[in-house]
Structure 1
Amino acid sequence: MTGLPDWERLLSNIPLPVENLAGIAAGVVLQHAVPLRTGLAPSLVRAAGVASLAASGAVVSWAWLAARSTRLADPDSLVTTGPYALSRNPMYVGWALAHLGVGLLRDDSWTLAALPVAAAAIHHQVLREEEALAAAFPVEFSRYRRSVPRYVPSYLPRPRRAADRVRLRAGGVAGPPSHAPRLSTG
């Protein structure tokens, strides 16, 4: 049946970071052994957990749909649309939101404490993945890397690059960063 390879590719594009899963599992085990709550209002913590899980589901689903035409583990092209136009790693951001949401929903400080450890381990993996993408798509990835932040989109102007400062000193005009929203004057 021809639909099976498409489903295999689609399912392979939902990476479940072992680091987040291990952090959540360790947090649950430690919370059971030595309960440690956040100390914040339980209803507020749970509401934030639900919001974080909802955001996670939305981000991961959107990223999954945007990447449906390629295999993320071995891409034949860069995915730069949908959430990938805002973040180079939206799925990792989504899974971090899920990790945060589970910790908040359970009011589990151990799971929350494991999040930065998991994030640091994932960051090292992201750096390796970016090296591979830079080697596979040197021009395209270089342009993409300059215009799209690694994790969290920012609508604040980025600091000017050295090349922009040189153009300014030479009398040229450096335009706004390519990711900055353009303001309408009319």
Structure 2
Amino acid sequence: MTTEVRKSIQKKQQIVNEVKEKIDRAKLMVIFDFTGIDANAMADFRKEIRKKDAEIKVIKNTVLYRACNGTELYDKIDIFRGPSAVIFAYEDIVTAAKALKEFLKENESAKVKAGLVEGAYATPEKIEELASLPSREELLAQLFATMMAPVTNFVRVLNAVPQKAVMVLNAIKEEKEKQG
């Protein structure tokens, strides 16, 4: 084997290792077919997805297949046919899934092939479900509102007691003035 061939093999193995590291680090990985998407739309989507602490990579299927060794995607060989772009989301998986859903609405020729959510295989339907969940911020707001409801109600009850006492005293005063 020549030195050039060895270097080529090492470089390819390094690329596979880099993709494998991204797969291991990502909380969400979605493989989608980007057929029919123009470069400007893809560039805009890349910018949008970066804001969500995620990234998009166009990866050769052979590299992606080898990097998926040891995951639940490895047995699903049909996923690795045709053009493939991959979203890796490292933090909030719902916002990345929502961004992909919006992108797919605008670009109907693209479609989700499959993905991994926290390391578990996810069908396109599961990823669609994930995109319909409330975002982390929305869930936190709902949790905060739920936690604050008893406190708010307690304060209202405490405020109502003096108000009612004042109203009763005021009624007694008015009654005495009428009588007196």
TM-score (structure 2 length as normaliser) = 0.30
The structure richer in strand per residue is: 2
**How high is the TM-score relative to the length of structure 1?**
0.30
